[in-house]
């Protein structure tokens, strides 16, 4: 996930996910003014279609959501 701070002051941001299981490399970070950073994340893919939303919220309460649609074809494993 790429985050950009176009402002003139640093911004504290918290990250979370809704829907599918997503793990971020960092869930809280500070973005210096006029910078961009990328936060790696891992998705545990279910055995079916799933929609996840990546959520970024700054310290002033501004929230942005990005939808991610996942589709996985997983073979059936029989014992």
- In sequence order, the 6+-apart residues with CB closer than 8 A to the CB of 18 are 52, 53, 55, 65
* pLDDT the model gives residue 40: 95
Q: How many domains does the chain have?
A: 1
What confidence score (pLDDT) does residue 50 get? 74
Residue 76 maps to a domain: no
Tens of pLDDT along 6-36?
999 999 999 999 887 889 999 999 999 999 9
Diameter of the chain by CA atoms? 59
**Full residue range of the structural domain in which residue 57 is found:** 2-70
Whether residue 25 is contained in a domain is answered as yes
Q: Percent of the chain scored above 90 by pLDDT?
A: 58
Q: What is the pLDDT of residue 24?
A: 94
């Amino acid at each position: 996930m790429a985050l950009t701070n176009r402002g003139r002051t640093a911004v504290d941001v918290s990250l979370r996910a809704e829907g599918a299981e997503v793990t971020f490399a960092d869930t809280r970070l500070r973005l210096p003014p006029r910078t961009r950073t990328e936060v790696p994340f891992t998705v545990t893919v279910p055995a079916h279609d799933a929609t996840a939303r990546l959520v970024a919220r700054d310290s002033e309460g501004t929230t942005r959501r990005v939808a991610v649609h996942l589709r996985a074809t997983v073979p059936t494993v029989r014992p």
